[in-house]
Structure 1
Amino acid sequence: MAEINKVAVIGAGVMGAGIAAHVANAGIPVVLLDIVAPAGAGPQSNGSNPNRNAIAEGAVAKMLKTDPAPFMSKAAAKLVTTGNIEDNLDLLADCDWIVEAVIERLDIKQSLYAKVDAVRKKGSVVSSNTSTIPLATLVEGLSDSFAEDFVITHFFNPPRYMRLLEVVGGAKTKAEALDAVSTFADHKLGKSVVRCKDRPGFIANRLGVYWLQAAVVEAFDAGLDIEDVDAIVGKPMGIPKTGVFGLLDLVGLDLMPHVNASLAAALPKDDPFHAMNRPLPMVEKMIADGYTGRKGKGGFYRVNRAKNKAKESVDLATGEYRATKRANVEAVKSMGRKLTRLLDHDSEHGRYAWRVLGQTLAYASALVGDAADEIESIDEAMRLGYNWKFGPFELIDQIGVDWLAAKLEASGMAVPAILKTASGKTFYRVENGTRQVLGMDGAYRDLVRPDGVVMLADIKLKSQPVLKNGSAALWDIGDGVACFEFTSKMNALDPDIMDLLTKSIRRVKKDFKALVVYNEGSNFSVGANLGLAIFAANIAAWTEIESLVAAGQQAYKALKYAPFPVVGAPSGMALGGGCEILLHCDAVQAHAETYMGLVEVGVGLLPGWGGCKEMLTRWASSGKLPKGPMPAVGKAFELISTATVAKSAAEAKEQLFLRPHDGITMNRYRLLADAKAKALSMVDGYQIPEPPVPLALPGPSGKVALEMAVAGFQRLGKATPHDGVVSGEVANVLSGGDTDVIKTVDEDALYDLEREAFMRLVRHPGTLARVEHMLLTGKPLRN
């Protein structure tokens, strides 16, 4: 199978540019081409010397300013070579994969393919990002050699963050072409690749657009409030809290008519989608008036700046905005954990929930054998393409196959063949510790992970934890490697975790070769359990709080100097204490979408589990700063006092939350296997790390210099009074306390300074107000 070492993307619109950026995120050189810019376009143009590459160059420049960022680091942008399709098609000659992401017009695409075919190298893969034009139509009239190398690769927007990639091959497509793109997308781009049939909308958009349309149409028909609709078609069904109307605001109301029209044109006349694809005059008027969602003046929801930023919502009956109200849905309140109670609730809300979910699940069931033969592909497409917590067949298992079939029949709806096949069964089951899935033939087969994928969820099906308490567990993941897992709510760190970590270090020393710190939550850890801290503060249990700080320091220090390799494996947020545990690991294998930072100042505290000490010693020994006592102090102070959070693993390396030798895994599913391999690679010849060299720190004079800088921000209104208090304590720790440059401060002294400063802050009324506000609102208090 040919390797992909260089990529080209043709079409520098939002999607094409985003694909190019993500290829660059993987460290792969990429060419980005678009049409020749009109005269005068672009910052480097004038009437006599137009910048013909301005469209592609402008796309890269725009992405460097976009938030959320398409690039994982600004350095990645340097891997993008820009050009235009008239002057620079020769740049495709050494590309292994060429992605077309131009306008959805067959004539334009086929004209481009002919030009590409003339310059591409033999065996290079060409793909289209289309989701509306069948592959067979795209290659019609083109050479067999082109058709053999042609596939569809349907990315989801934004390409960096959406993990789903739908891949479609044609009748003539070579297996090598499909495998090359699929492997590259999996390992290098971090995508979960779902193979689809060449059917309109493939899987995710075929089902997702039907679901959205059903939810909106049924809401109009029932005359419901959109807040109630989003409360129903949201968390109760495992759908993001945006619900339906919030999601449409996010993606843009003006996009839906185009998507609906393309599906309607491509789907067979008997497809149930057509019954849902009704014109909605009120929505058409909103789009015409510029109410296209968050990118416009507002959508179904808006912030009315003329009314002191009041939050408003559209009334579906009148089309007028009114004050946003709190959802009040008895059917949701009374359902508990049983989805069937919501779907069976005798109310307009219950009947609405059934009409939307019943029709959606029936449609999903009808897609088996059409869009895909495997139900797990449909589930994966909806989990990753639309951020559903559960795929449709996982939802059916929750409510019961027979219950759904009976309810459909009672509602006068057809029961799809796969539901009849599954009668009396579930779609998924666990047999002898192995997860199995039902096939179209009615027989179960094992769900097999791809090579190089190890999931803790699978290990749990076949084993019991080595150690366990209410907040953490230690697992044997094979080959002499143990895995320490947080299991508390949001993986918040508490005394139970520190206690089990200490016991786990002793157990690993006795029975294992290495340790991985990892979990499969959406976030690695959001930090310490603030609820426990505020409870202890409210009863003045200062000794208990200091014991917790000391226990964390001792556990993390024991982890750092354990007689075996320790590898942290984070994904998602690793904040506060979650960042600090990673700072004490021998190495880190981070998922690319890891967001690390020491954010304690936001709640009026400072890193008390070695975070100040680790950032200071890292920057002091990095060789990246001028020599002397202040540069490292100043850099660590900047990162900690501003609660800086790296927005990717690549950015975390720039800020030294990660070190140069730490690894990055693009595919979330491959993280545990990569971390385990890294741990095993360190076993032979492993030596306990030497303590950091004691530092010559500036002492009170350094503290004063840092405090003066904060005072300047306070005068400008960029820092609050309590920011000054907290920053002063951070400055005291990083400056070494009562010392001067002729003395040195060792690791233990920095631990002591952290703990003492933490305790002074936790007693401060300003800090207690910040912690309480964060717990109540989820937002920082600017006091």
Structure 2
Amino acid sequence: MAEIKKVAVIGSGVMGGAIAAHVANAGIPVVLLDVAAKEGDRSAIAKGAIDRLLKTDPAPFMHNKNARLITPGNLDDDLNLLADVDWIVEAIVERLDIKHALYEKLEKARKPGSIVSSNTSTIPLDKLVEGRSAEFQRDFVITHFFNPPRYMRLLELVVGKKTSPDVAKTIEKFCDVNLGKGVVHCHDTPGFIANRIGTFWIQQAINSAMDLGLTVEEADAVSGRPMGIPKTGVFGLVDLVGLDLMPHISASLLSTLPPKDAYRDIARDVPLFKKLIESGYTGRKGKGGFYRLDRTGGAKTKQTLDLVSGEYRNEQRAQLTALDASKAGGLKGLVTSDDKGGKFAWAVLSATLSYAADLVPEIADTVHDLDEGMRLGYAWKRGPFELIDELGTGWFADKLKAEGKPIPKMLAVANGRPFYRVENGKLQQLLPSGDYADIKRPDGVLLLADIKRASKPVAKNASAQLWDIGDGVLCLEFRSKMNSMDADIMAMIQRAIGTIGDGKSGPYKALVVYNEGDNFSVGANLGLALFALNLAMYPQVEEMVSGGQQTYKAMKYAPFPTVVAPFGMALGGGCEIVLHASAVQAHAELYIGLVEVGVGLIPGWGGCKEMIVRHQQNKKRPGGPMPAVGKAFEIISTATVSRSAAQAQEYLFLRDSDGITMNRDRLLADAKARALELSKDYKPPVAPEIRLPGPTAKAAFKLAVDGFVASGKATAYDQVVSDALGDILSGGNTDITEIKTEDDITALERAAFMKLVRNDGTVARIETMLETGKPLRN
């Protein structure tokens, strides 16, 4: 199997540029070519695309320095740059004649054996390679990325009749391991998987909302979280994608779908939508869409479109019985509610799930492929067959039959059996043949969900569990709400330390801290903290702070290695456990930071101490005592959060030696491998000697914050919290001649923390965060 060391992207538009950026995120050099500009710099179009990418939000680059890996050029002068490229991605306009003309050029310029792929989702592969040589057809595939490529995990892979198996394997491995994609094999059919089902779902939801008289807010409230679909719901999603894009997707599908495809029966032209597009109301990228912000009089009022009158009005909260029924009875409660919300939910799901159940094996081989496509491409919590299983295949079929609707093919195959089952600890799926087969994970993928199906925890309590993940490695899993840190998690860390012991004489030799939630950890459990504060249970609060400090310190200096594997948000206490790890194996999408100042607190579980040490030991910092503590003060006082694991290394939340995994499904396996490697001759770290500048630094911090308060960039209570933070980072009444221990710094943390929790300003910040999810600027 060949190795991909350099990539070229042809076409620097929205998709092409973003694909190039994401390849650069993987540390791979990229050539980005577009048509030559008619005047001035002939490569200006590709260069302009790079400039645009650096300003785009959400950021296509995981770190701006990755832009240096992209070499811009043009198709007239720079085809020679393809001579050493291993993979060429075509991402140009969806016109077959223009693609064919490009491929003719590529065939002459590319090196023998280089892979060529198209990002198309509308043109069949057979049509794309018409007239090309046997060698070109052997090396050609479709790689359909989803927008934005950095954040959307799905990559639909289509191979041709003449595509080399080695080419398919090379692309699949690279997109999986290097780009972090969930690669799903699709058949060469219109829209592949996600857009085929997703477009049907959107159209059916819009039709049903209008037919049943739902408002935009009501339709999105029902079609969002209650169905396990992103909170945008259907109208919010169309605003995000672009209302003007929908007619093009529909027209493309209608031009290629089979004559009796169910989408043809529901496709509609809505005059209101056409009017919106013509008026520039194309969604978030335009003047608004189904939602808009009214800025009249300087205020920002969120408004929604009235689907009947076509006029905007202030947004209204959805009040539907179906939403309450969903909370009590789950998905079945939602679709059986007899109000218009329930009728809407059933109309959407019955049609969409039936459509999906008729598409296997037409568009892909298995139900799991379709579920993966919708989870990774449209961010559904559960795919269509998982949703049917939640309702019950027998129940779903009976309800369709009672309404005189046809039973789709795979539902008939199920005949009352589930699409997924666990057999001998293995997750299995129902095949079109009627047999069940194990779901096979790619090599190098280890999922905690699979381990949990096949075993029982070594230990558990209300907020955490310990799992044996093989080869002498234990995994500590958080399972509290939002993986918030509490006393039970601290107790389980201590339990793990005791269970592993010296890491040599027992069955276990290392610990991995990992879970498969939406986020690694959002920090300490603020609800419990507020409860204690309202009852003035200050000794219990101080015990919680002290207990966390002692637990993290015990983990840091344990005689065995602990590898923490964070992903998503790792905030506050979730960041602090990362800072105390022997090593970190982070997912590339890591949003980590010490954000306690937002709730009127300071990092109290050793976070301040660890940031002092890291900045003092940073070889890149300027000399002297002030730059290190000044940088730590800046990062903590502004609640700085990284926007990627690469940026987390810049802020020293991660060390240069810490690993980064691109594919979320590979994170646990990579963390386990790191733990096993460390365990071979592991020795705990040597305690640092800390020297701090004392009152001089405290005065400098206060002067800086006073300036921010005076200019309106910081509030009066920010000054109070910053003063407490300054007490810690300056070292208190000390100077650089005195050596401080870690315990000295954590004692300062405790004192500052307990001073702040007795302040009404901190209580108000905690209350506001719990009530609104937003910080109070008091």
Q: Give the TM-score of the pair, scaled to structure 2.
A: 0.98
Corresponding position of 1:44: none
Q: Distance in 1 between matches of 2:278 and 2:204?
A: 22
> What corresponds to 2:154 in structure 1?
164
- The aligned residue for residue 743 of structure 1 is 738
Q: Choose from 700, 708, 713 the match for 1:705.
A: 700
In the other structure, the counterpart of 2:369 is 377
Residue matched to 1:584? 580
Shift in Å, 1:352: 1.7
| Pairing 1:544-623 to 2, within 5 Å after superposition | 544-623=540-619
Per-residue deviation, 1:543: 0.3
In the alignment, does 2:311 pair up with 1:320?
A: yes
Residue aligning to 2:487: 495
Show the counterpart of 1:46. none
Partner of 2:347: 355
Q: Is contact 2:208-2:344 (8 Å) kept?
A: yes
- Judge conservation of contact 1:203–1:372 (CA < 8 Å) in 2: yes
Shift of residue 354 of structure 1?
1.1
- Residue identity matched to 2:178: K
- Correspondence for 1:486 among 467, 478, 481: 478
Three-state SS of the structure 2 residue aligned to 1:104 is: coil
Is structure 2 residue 32 aligned with structure 1 residue 37? no
Q: How big is the shift at 1:347?
A: 2.7
Shift of 1:714: 1.0
Partner residue of 1:283? Answer: 273
Q: Which residues in structure 2 correspond to 1:167-178 (within 5 Å)?
A: 167-178=157-168
One-letter amino acid of the counterpart of residue 303, structure 1: L
CA distance in 1, matches of 2:337, 2:615: 60
Q: Which letter maps to 1:684?
A: K
Give the structure 2 partner of residue 43 of structure 1: none
Paired residue for 1:679, among 675, 679, 696? 675
Shift of 1:51: 1.1
- DSSP 3-state at the match of 2:329: coil
Q: Distance in 1 between matches of 2:5 and 2:61?
A: 19
Q: Is the 8 A contact 2:5 2:86 kept in 1?
A: yes
User: Equivalent residue of 1:551, what SS?
Assistant: helix
Q: Which residue in 1 is equivalent to 2:321? A: 330
Question: Which runs of structure 2 are paired with 1:638-653 in the superposition (5 Å)?
Answer: 638-653=634-649
Q: Summarize the alignment of residues 232-631 of structure 1 with structure 2, pairs less than 5 Å apart.
A: 232-306=222-296, 308-335=299-326, 336-509=328-501, 510-631=506-627
Segment drifting more, 453-462 vs 344-353:
344-353
Q: Is the 8 A contact 1:302 1:312 kept in 2?
A: yes
2:114 and 2:730 mapped to 1: Cα distance? Answer: 57
Aligned partners of 1:630 and 1:681: how far apart in 2? Answer: 37
Q: 1:654: how far off?
A: 1.0
| SS of residue matched to 2:418 | coil
SS of equivalent to 1:596? strand
Deviations 1:215-251 (A, max 9, x none): 0012112221111111111111111111101111111
Return the offset for 1:334: 2.0
Q: Distance in 1 between matches of 2:215 and 2:324?
A: 17
State how far apart, in whole Å, the 1-side matches of 2:643 and 2:375 are: 23
Q: Distance in 2 between matches of 1:231 and 1:670?
A: 34
> How far apart are 1:761 and its partner, in Å?
0.9
Residue 318 of structure 1 and its aligned partner are, at CA, apart by: 0.7
Deviation at 1:340, TM superposition (A): 2.2
Preserved CA contact (<8 Å) 1:204 1:381: yes
- Matched residue type, 1:570: P
Offset from partner CA, 1:74-104 (integer Å, 9 cap, x none): 1211111110111111111111000000000
**Cα pair 2:321 2:337 within 8 Å, conserved:** no
Give the whole-Å Cα distance in 1 for the aligned partners of 2:616 and 2:151: 34
Q: Deviations over 1:137-194 (max 9, x none)?
A: 1111111111111100000000000110000011111111111111000000000100
Quote the offset at 1:380 in angstroms.
Answer: 0.3
The answer on 1:695 being equivalent to 2:690 is yes
Is contact 1:231–1:329 with CA below 8 Å preserved after alignment? no
2:46 equivalent among 29, 32, 56? 56
Is the Cα contact below 8 Å between 1:565 and 1:679 reproduced in 2?
yes
Mean alpha-carbon deviation: is it higher for 406-415 or for 22-31? Answer: 406-415
**Structure-2 residue corresponding to 1:781:** 776
Local SS of the residue matching 1:473:
strand
Q: Quote how far apart the aligned CAs of 1:401 are.
A: 1.0
Separation of aligned partners in 2, 1:305 and 1:37 = 38
Which residue identity lines up with residue 671 of structure 1 in the other structure? Answer: L
Paired letter, 2:481: K
Q: Distance in 2 between matches of 1:617 and 1:353?
A: 55
Conserved in 2, the CA contact under 8 Å of 1:12 and 1:32? yes
Matched ranges for 1:47-86 at <5 A: 50-86=40-76
Looking at structure 2, the residues matched to 657 and 178 of structure 1 have their Cα atoms a distance apart, in angstroms, of: 38
Q: Per the alignment, in what secondary structure is the counterpart of residue 287 of structure 1?
A: helix
Identity over the aligned pairs, expressed in percent? 61
User: What stretches of structure 1 of length at least 5 have no aligned partner?
Assistant: 40-49
Structure 1 residue 342: Cα displacement: 2.3
Q: Residues 598-651 of structure 1: CA distance to partner in whole angstroms, max 9, x if unpaired?
A: 010111101010101101101101111111110101110111001000110111
2:140 aligned to which of 150, 153, 161: 150
Once residues 215 and 397 of structure 1 are traced to their aligned partners in structure 2, the CA distance between those partners, rounded to angstroms, is 21
The equivalences for 1:129-208 within 5 A come to 129-208=119-198
Alpha-carbon deviation of 1:338?
A: 3.3
Equivalent-residue separation in structure 1 for 2:738 and 2:227 (angstroms): 61
State how far apart, in whole Å, the 1-side matches of 2:337 and 2:455 are.
40
Cα deviation for residue 400 of structure 1 reads: 1.1
1:710 deviation in Å? Answer: 0.9
Please give the per-residue CA displacement for 1:373-431, whole angstroms capped at 9, x wherever unaligned: 21000000000100000000000001111221222222232211211110120000001
Quote how far apart the aligned CAs of 1:337 are: 3.1
The answer to whether the 8 Å contact 1:481/1:516 transfers is: yes
Task: Give CA deviations for 1:564-588 in whole Å, capped at 9, x if unaligned.
Answer: 0110001110000000001000100
Query: Alpha-carbon deviation of 1:739?
Result: 0.6
Letter in 1 for 2:772: T
Q: For 2:676, give the aligned amino acid.
A: L
Shift of 1:132: 0.4
| Offset at residue 341 of structure 1 (A) | 2.7
Moved more, 347-356 or 278-287: 347-356
The amino acid of 1:521's aligned partner reads G
Shift of 1:270: 1.0
Give 1:45's aligned residue. Answer: none
Distance 1:442 1:604 in 2: 59
Long gaps (5+) in structure 2: none
Most deviating of 104-113 and 141-150: 141-150
Which residue does the alignment assign to 2:90? 100
Per-residue displacement from partner, 1:675-704 (whole Å, max 9, x unpaired)? 000000011211111001x22211011111
Using the TM superposition, give the Cα deviation of residue 267 of structure 1 relative to its aligned residue in structure 2, in angstroms. Answer: 0.7
TM-score, with structure 1 as normaliser: 0.98
Query: C-alpha deviations, 1:302-361, integer Å up to 9, x for none?
Result: 110015211111111111111111101102212323322322222332222111110000
Residues in 2 aligned to 1:648 and 1:62: alpha-carbon distance in whole angstroms: 19
- Whole-Å Cα distance in 2 between the matches of residues 64 and 347 of structure 1? 48
